[in-house]
Structure 1
Amino acid sequence: MNALFCDLPLAGRIERAEARRMAEATGVARGRPGSAAFVRPVAGGVATFAEAGSPLNKIAGLGFGGVPAPDVLDETEQAFAAVGSPVQAELAHVADPAIAATLSGRGYRLESFENVLGRSLREEPDRVTPPGVEIRPVGAGEFGTWLDTAVDAFTQPETDGPPPDQEFPREVLARALRDLAGDGVRRYLALCDGVVAGAGSMCVTDGLAQFTGAATLPGHRRRGVQTALLSARLADAVTAGCDLAVITTQPASKSQQNAQRRGFQLLYTRAVLVKPAD
């Protein structure tokens, strides 16, 4: 397999897709009665807020549209302050270093990192299905099963890797996952010996397959469910005409290890910078 080189156009392509995904999901949240959700453009990226404590509350895609102007940052920070939320900015390490300096000067502090990995799909990947494991698309009437499985699995993280850098209330996480599962998202259920064991999803946009989350219920871990979910999504991404698959993981996590075993390579790292709420 050929090594991937992540230049600025490739990183920008991935970051724009992520920003679009956040904006679309938050747009769903804005439609709920009494919602304080917002979507704001920020220097080629997007600032989104869905509700208190949501994983959708962030600035995504920053770094490929120039350094944000002071008045744009002022207005963005004021929008988050108005809903009592800290400002979380995700910044690719290949972005203009002046952006990190600007944010640090405004009181943002580094809280964590996340890795973006990719795999070229120009060579068709092998299909891997461990014994007893089945991966199938979510069928009609199964959305509730998929959502419950995903929430249950995500709220019970792995214990043999680094601790999760963020945790979310169950109800808030469920709404975020529901909002993220819109048009263009393919959903999957994993079964072990016929019993629902995990869930995953993939978003296909303009030839890019974003692997948008997968998790296994604790009682079914170490059976190869994650490997099977990765393999099934890779095969479907090829069928959909994608040239690249990407996944975001916590550094040194089991998810990163599983992805690298399936041929994903580290493309770049995002720094997560946070300005606390006043």
Structure 2
Amino acid sequence: MELSLNIELARKLEGDLLAGNKELMQVWNEIDHKSELKVLELENISAVYGGPDCPINEAVGLGMYGPVQEEIIEAIEEFYRSNNHDTEIRVCPLAHESLVELTRKRGYVLSGFSYRWILTLESWTSPLMVPDSRTRLAMPQDEDNWSKAVASGFADQDNMSETTDLTLEHAFFRMKSSIPFIAEEKGKVAAGGVLALSDDVASLFATSTLPSYRGRGLQTGLLDSRLRYAKDRGARIATIETDPGSGSQRNVERVGFQLADVTAELVKHY
């Protein structure tokens, strides 16, 4: 059954992201680390800053409940300026049209796109005959190896330096809503990913595979295992994001996801 993105579903997905950002902040700031995760919270909007190289530095939720006021944009810009960072805004295509005009007026430029995918779990059947035996739920004692594997995969290298900051990965693992999964091959932790359940929505994220283990079906196995788990627990909809044209895109299409929208990423340089 095909599922199309409408404003109600888009608001729900953005709301889940906002709640996740808040939870991530709480966990991040409980971990011993070198920089504090900061979150500016406004009504149905949040802006995250976790250091100059943090991959989740962005404002989300703008324009989902009506026109965007210029003072809101100004507050977000001041938040990032005070942290010596460019302002980055994630724009849902169903956001109010005023956001386009305001960002154009204030000098924002397009920096990239991401694809958001959705899947109707109620009618979904796995393309795999049986679950991939290399995947399983991660246990508390897996946290260090899981964090290293996920970070290494995103950095596109098999071995991370011992001094690499893994705060984000540890925070993803420890979030109250997180259900981390792990993939092993011949006793080696080769890939990992997270599932989060919120009401009837299953969000899949932080999926990463070590470069030397790619092409062996581990990411597909992790996708399949998390979808089976979510469906068994009553989730009706699954969602995930990928970079356009990536290997991850091909994997999510392979297990049945449909493209819901193309999210624009805007940046204002200082």
Task: Report the TM-score when normalising by structure 2.
Answer: 0.90
Shift of the alpha carbon at 1:124?
4.5
**SS across alignment from 1:22:** helix
With over 3 angstroms needed to count, the CA separation of the structure-2 counterparts of 1:242 and 1:248, relative to structure 1, is same
Q: Which residue is equivalent to 1:40? A: 40
- Which deviates further from its counterpart, 13-22 or 58-67? 58-67
Q: Distance in 2 between matches of 1:240 and 1:171?
A: 39
Tell me, yes or no, if the aligned pair for 1:113 and 1:269 is still in contact at 8 Å.
yes
Contact 2:67 2:98 in 1 (8 A): yes
Percent identity between matched residues is: 25
Contact 2:70 2:102 in 1 (8 A): no
- Residue matched to 1:258: 251
Distance 1:40 1:172 in 2: 26
Structure 2 vs 1, CA of residues 171 and 54 (structure 1 numbering), >3 Å: closer, same or farther?
Answer: farther
Q: SS where residue 95 of structure 2 aligns? A: coil
Partner of 2:199 in structure 1? Answer: 206
Instruction: Decide whether the 8 Å contact of 2:184 with 2:190 is kept in 1.
Output: yes
- 2:65 matched to 1:72? no
Which residue number corresponds to residue 220 of structure 2? 227
Matches within 5 A, 1:158-197: 174-181=166-173, 182-197=175-190
> Does 2:217 match 1:245?
no
**1:40 and 1:207, CA in 2 relative to 1: closer, same or farther beyond 3 A?**
same
Deviation, 1:134, is 0.8
- Contact 1:45-1:60 at 8 Å conserved across structures: yes
Once the two structures are TM-superposed, the CA of residue 154 in structure 1 deviates from its matched residue by 1.1
RMSD across aligned positions (CA): 2.4
- Any idea what the Cα deviations from partners look like across 1:105-163, whole Å, max 9, x if unmatched? 11111010001001001124226279985101112311101101111111107xxxxxx
Alignment pair present for 1:154 and 2:165: no
* Deviations 1:59-108, CA, capped at 9 Å, x for gaps: 01222122332222212211111110111100011222221221121111
Where structure 2 has 5 or more consecutive residues not aligned to the other structure, the ranges are none
Is this contact kept in 2: 1:227–1:258, CA < 8 A?
yes
Alpha-carbon contact 1:116-1:266 (below 8 Å) kept? yes
**Is the CA contact (8 Å cut-off) linking 1:45 and 1:65 kept in structure 2?**
no
The TM-score with structure 1 as length reference comes to 0.87
Residue 143 of structure 1 aligns to a residue whose secondary structure is helix
Which structure 1 segments of 5+ residues have no match? 158-168
Equivalent in the alignment of 1:7: 6
8 Å Cα contact 1:58-1:90 kept in structure 2: yes
The answer for the alignment partner of 2:95 in structure 1 is 95
Q: Could you tell me which residue of structure 2 aligns to residue 118 of structure 1?
A: 118
**Structure 1 pair 170/240, CA: closer, same or farther in 2 (3 Å)?**
farther
Closer, same or farther: CA 60–68 of 1 in aligned 2, 3 Å: same
Instruction: State the match for 2:17 in structure 1.
Output: 18
Flag the 1:82–1:125 CA change in 2: closer, same or farther, 3 A.
same
Q: How many residues align?
A: 265
Matched, 1:140 2:179: no
The 3 A distance-change label for structure 1 pair 32 and 144 is closer
